[in-house]
Structure 1
Amino acid sequence: MVDRDDRVTGQAPRGEVYARGLLHRCVFVQVRDELGRVFVHRRTGSKLVFPSHYDMFVGGVLGAGEDYPGAALREAEEELGVSGLEQPAPLFKFLYEGPGGSWWSYVHEVRCALPVAPQESEVDWHAWLAPGELERRVADGTWPWVPDGLEAYRRLRAFREGGDRPAAPRV
């Protein structure tokens, strides 16, 4: 658990964190293949938060004592089912406040040329989508997207376009 300045204040089991709406830390990693396509997946129906929703990031909640870089690599390798992935590059951090709760969200990116075997307990379906196709899927509204991922996606687009650049994040 953390405060609004992202300072650690304690720890609690994940279920309690979500049930009580406690502020915590998450990582988001946008994964691209060697052709620049984005890894997109549908979360399993058994997920605690946003079950059966689509996401254009892999990631998750930091464990007690874990830092953002370590969590980004761990989560990316776990969800993609790979090992030996390069360390994801940190981009920016923001406080997500919306459906599902509130959490500090540190956005990263990484290239993956390895064959993926997504974790069945996390991922029901996956594909590599060209950026234009991803943009069309987001815009047409036919897929239910995780709201925190949509917010991270919006901010990432602005970041890449040189607009709304977040302040330099603290690790």
Structure 2
Amino acid sequence: MSSAEEIVDIVDEEDRVIGQAPRGEAYRQGLRHRTAFILARDPEGNVFVHRRTTTKLVFPGRYDMFVGGVVGTGESYDEAALREAEEELGVSGLPAPRPLFKFLYDGRADGTGGSWWSYVYDVTCALPVRPQAEEIDWYTFLSPAELERRLDAWPWTPDSLAAYERLRARA
């Protein structure tokens, strides 16, 4: 099954499940669903940053400072966060990501038309990473200061920028 065919829960403005749809349809129709964003750091505190492949359904070829993705039907945010982090980083045995906060991303402001509830996590990854080639075509670990310098220079996914801005405001 392709990622576009994966079934996801459709939720309302209060994050209550109101139906299901294939992921691709949810994106095309702008149906609100759930995502998990995980800020992965190495033991020195550097942030895993990557560029998405050009085959991604949403924001292809853009940079992202979070790993993560769509929460599957019947899956909890916590389950999705661990699954997505391990899949995208290419590791197993990662500690459970630490939940930080949840927010409603509304892409109508940036022209994506999408809307999703996003739970933001962080995790320290001391394991050697082997990112999924289908998801990530370039990666590195950046110091927090270097990440800040790149914010205005690289084309970032707008939802990760929104999450990162909220994360910075909490610090």
Q: TM-score, normalised by structure 1?
A: 0.91
Q: What is the match of residue 137 of structure 2?
A: 124
**Are positions 1:155 and 2:166 aligned together?**
yes
Q: When the two structures are aligned, how many residues end up with a matched partner?
A: 158
Residue 21 (structure 1) aligned to one of 30, 40, 57: 30
For the pair 1:68 / 2:50, whether they are aligned, the reply is no
1:81 paired residue among 80, 85, 90: 90
2:19 aligned partner: 10
Q: CA deviation at 1:142?
A: 2.3
Q: Pick from 115, 132, 145: which aligns with 2:128?
A: 115
Match status 1:41 vs 2:50: yes
| TM-aligned CA deviation for residue 9 of structure 1 | 0.8
Measured in 1, the distance between the counterparts of 2:33 and 2:170 equals 23
Aligned partner of residue 94 in structure 1, secondary structure? strand
For structure 2, which runs of at least 5 residues remain unmatched after alignment?
Answer: 1-9
SS of equivalent to 1:25: strand
Q: Could you tell me the percent identity over the aligned residues?
A: 67
Q: What TM-score results when the alignment is normalised by the length of structure 2?
A: 0.91
Higher strand content, 1 or 2: 2
In 1, the alpha carbon distance for the partners of 2:63 and 2:72 equals: 23
Structure 1: give runs of 5+ residues left out of the alignment.
Answer: 161-171
Counting only pairs closer than 5 Å after superposition, residues 156-171 of structure 1 correspond to structure 2 as 156-160=167-171
SS at match of 2:19: coil
Instruction: Give 3-state SS (helix, strand or coil) of 1:93's partner.
Output: strand
Q: Alpha-carbon deviation of 1:92?
A: 0.2
Indicate which of 126, 129, 145 corresponds to 2:156.
145
The SS at the match of 1:149 is: helix
Measure the CA separation in 1 of the matches of 2:85 and 2:157. Answer: 17
Shift of 1:10: 1.1
Q: CA RMSD in A?
A: 0.6
